[in-house]
Structure 1
Amino acid sequence: MNPTLVAVGLSLFSAAAYASAAVAQERLAARSAGTGTGTLRLLAQGTWWWSVTLNASAALLHVAALKYGTLTLVQPLGALTLVAAVPLGARIAGRRVSAVEWRGTALTLTGLAALLVTASGAAPDEVLSLPQALAVAGTTAAVIGVLARRARPGLRHATASGFASGVASALTQTVTVAATARSNSPFSAQVVVVALLVAAFAAGGLLLSQTAYQGGLGAPLAVVTLANPLAAAAIGLSLLGERLQGGAAGLLLALVGASIAAWGVVTLSRTAPEPAGAPADAPLDGLADDDHPVAAVLALEPNGVAHEPSLTPRQAGSGHLTSL
């Protein structure tokens, strides 16, 4: 079976699962906000556990996609979560998809289709060596340190979050391919150390995105979504021997496709409400708005690594469900 088709199929199911989980979390947040539901009661609700199961399934599908597809192919497809959230959220809210949402969806799909043509290829077989993984981790940590040195939330934190998440996915691919290789032990030093780096960068990306969203939603969401595949593709093309198909023409097509997809992501991100005047300790208050289903994807890590929804200190009293 064509590995590219397998990777695309797994990515599609992963995006659908992430979007379904996000919309379910959004609806649960809307129902819980005015009822004073406590944390323990939320844990007892089937909807909450259903969203957790969907998130976990989506993460596993994403990891499996990285086994069969290159980073330049799989990571941009993460934007499909935004696309899938639009019709799902609109259907549950009982409204029609807006013209702006249709335009953003069409642009994103068109750009991703162009990238799909150029990024297709054989299943990945090269992995980062332990020195390479440590070098990537050290360089990325230094870049993140520079970007996030300011305490005030902003696009610097969003960029740092996207880079951290993209590197986490690149390292995840190394763990997946190395652990399943017949010539390598699944508990080798390379696999164990890189797995620890994956956990560190996934957690770092999560915390940085939380900080970035304190200053607003639309622009940081777009930056995180775009910086993620950029970082992963840089690693794939420079260290893992990944190549774009079609030579110079393929490179041009990839650049055009990436630009169109980025335009679509920005358009979709603008459909999410800005929490104007929201205090810094409650960056996600007010995002359970039925008119803005794309905001629900904030319940997910942008790199395709799921995390469980939880309550912020401020929201614990009101039972407003969100994610850290």
Structure 2
Amino acid sequence: MSPVAGTVLAVLLSLVSAAGYALAAVAQARLAASAAPAGRGALRALLARGQWWWAVGLNAAGALAHVAALHYGPLTLVQPLGALTLVAALPLGAYCARRRVTRTEWRGALLTLGGLVGLVAMTGPAEPGEALSLREALIVAAATGLLIAALASGRVPRRRGDTGTRGLGHATASGIASGVGSALTQTLTAALALELPGREPVWWQTALLAVLISGFAVGGLLLSQAAYRGGLAAPLAVVNLSNPAAAAIIGVALLGETFRAGTWGWPIAAAASLVAARGVVLLTKGGAPAPEADPASSTVVVTGSRPVPPPRATELPAPLPAPLSTPLPLTVPLSVPEVEPARASIPG
């Protein structure tokens, strides 16, 4: 296959992957918005829903298309195109919710997309065959497990109007789990090829890596499902940001990766992070529903009169005794006979 044909095929597969991930995210968000039991029965009820398995299948299809795209095209092309998941999920989610995408949401999506592309463009991939050692893989897995537990332990806000910020901790944990799972997958591939740094792994070490990868994959999927309780756009943006960020941290810290721009790569990556963070903030505000009016503070307007607050049940008896206790209408006619006899006695 010619390089041009391979590039075109990589682009098409990347678009298919982005569409698969976007459809899966929309399905998960709709499932999270539906009424579901909480507590121990939540997972059982989730596994019994056919919509959940559709989301799992779409995620798997997106992952396979992404891997196939990496086979035909470079990571510098495929990874930024994967960020189009957010742009595709916004109109899909709005169409399913029967509403329009707001300007704030579009601005947030474009800023997040630009920041994400900047981060991916600044970090270069590791050399072929480079991977974590078994000791490094176990340390990374343990540290990631503690971090995910800390992020996922936060309670979801219950106040009205906070739906835009719900689940961002779960979304961050989901992206980190996926990014670490990718790094461990690279380690497992090197282990199966007997190219792992250090001595050759035995069968139980390879099996342990496979179990860790499965755990992070399933955990990331369940964490993203919990994140979508607070909406679609902002949690999806955080997942797409924290995934490559976690992989980049592992690459720079343990695999010898560097920023492409050298010394200038650090400030450029920081600026891209700030742009992406601004986009996430806009997404949390753009999709938040308007706060409902408090019925106690509403007014009843009568034509030709001033707005009058609606009467409350406790206030109804209060105005009734006032007209009965006022003596003015009764004393005025009674005082007239008393004045007339006094005036008649003066001439006499």
Scaled to the shorter chain, the TM-score interval is: 0.5 to 0.7
Deviations 1:194-241 (A, max 9, x none): 121011223333444555666x44776655554333322211111122
Q: Is the 8 A contact 1:222 1:269 kept in 2?
A: no
Q: Match of 2:63?
A: 59
Matched residues, number = 267
Give the secondary structure class of the aligned counterpart of 1:127: coil
Selected match of 2:123 from 119, 123, 143: 119
Selected match of 1:166 from 179, 183, 189: 179
Whichever residue aligns with residue 257 of structure 2, its letter is: E
| CA displacement at 1:106 relative to structure 2 | 1.9
Q: Is the 8 A contact 1:4 1:122 kept in 2?
A: no
Q: Match of 1:140?
A: 144
| CA displacement at 1:103 relative to structure 2 | 0.7
Distance 1:86-1:158 versus aligned 2 partners, 3 A rule: closer
Distance 1:115-1:226 versus aligned 2 partners, 3 A rule: closer
Give the secondary structure class of the aligned counterpart of 1:244: coil
Q: Match of 2:253?
A: 238
Deviations 1:18-68 (A, max 9, x none): 1123445667999999xxxx999974xxx8876554322112234456777
Q: Does 1:247 align with 2:250?
A: no
Give the secondary structure class of the aligned counterpart of 2:270: helix
Task: Please give the alpha-carbon distance, in whole angstroms, between the structure 1 residues aligned to 2:113 and 2:121.
Answer: 13
Q: Match of 2:18?
A: 15
Give the secondary structure class of the aligned counterpart of 2:247: helix
Task: Please give the alpha-carbon distance, in whole angstroms, between the structure 1 residues aligned to 2:103 and 2:88.
Answer: 16
Q: Match of 2:84?
A: 80
Gaps of 5+ in 1: 277-324
Q: Match of 2:326?
A: none
Q: Match of 1:316?
A: none
Deviations 1:132-183 (A, max 9, x none): 111111222233445556677776555444433332222123334554x486
Deviations 1:52-86 (A, max 9, x none): 5432211223445677767x997787653222111
Distance 1:251-1:140 versus aligned 2 partners, 3 A rule: same
Distance 1:50-1:140 versus aligned 2 partners, 3 A rule: closer
Q: Is the 8 A contact 2:16 2:65 kept in 1?
A: yes
Q: Is the 8 A contact 1:126 1:240 kept in 2?
A: yes
Q: Match of 1:264?
A: 279
Task: Please give the alpha-carbon distance, in whole angstroms, between the structure 2 residues aligned to 1:166 and 1:83.
Answer: 21
> Relative contact order: is structure 1 or structure 2 higher (C-alpha 8 Å, sep ≥ 6)?
1
Distance 1:98-1:195 versus aligned 2 partners, 3 A rule: same
Q: Match of 1:299?
A: none
Deviations 1:223-261 (A, max 9, x none): 555433332221111112222101112222222122212
Task: Please give the alpha-carbon distance, in whole angstroms, between the structure 2 residues aligned to 1:177 and 1:253.
Answer: 32
Q: Is the 8 A contact 1:11 1:74 kept in 2?
A: yes
Q: Is the 8 A contact 1:159 1:224 kept in 2?
A: yes
Task: Please give the alpha-carbon distance, in whole angstroms, between the structure 1 residues aligned to 2:10 and 2:190.
Answer: 14
Q: TM-score, normalised by structure 2?
A: 0.57
Compute the RMSD of aligned alpha carbons. 4.8
Task: Please give the alpha-carbon distance, in whole angstroms, between the structure 2 residues aligned to 1:209 and 1:24.
Answer: 12
State the identity as a percent: 55
Distance 1:168-1:174 versus aligned 2 partners, 3 A rule: same
Q: TM-score, normalised by structure 1?
A: 0.60
Task: Please give the alpha-carbon distance, in whole angstroms, between the structure 2 residues aligned to 1:76 and 1:4.
Answer: 14
* Bigger radius of gyration among the two: 2
Deviations 1:263-303 (A, max 9, x none): 22342344445799xxxxxxxxxxxxxxxxxxxxxxxxxxx
Q: Is the 8 A contact 1:226 1:262 kept in 2?
A: no
Moved more, 48-57 or 190-199: 48-57
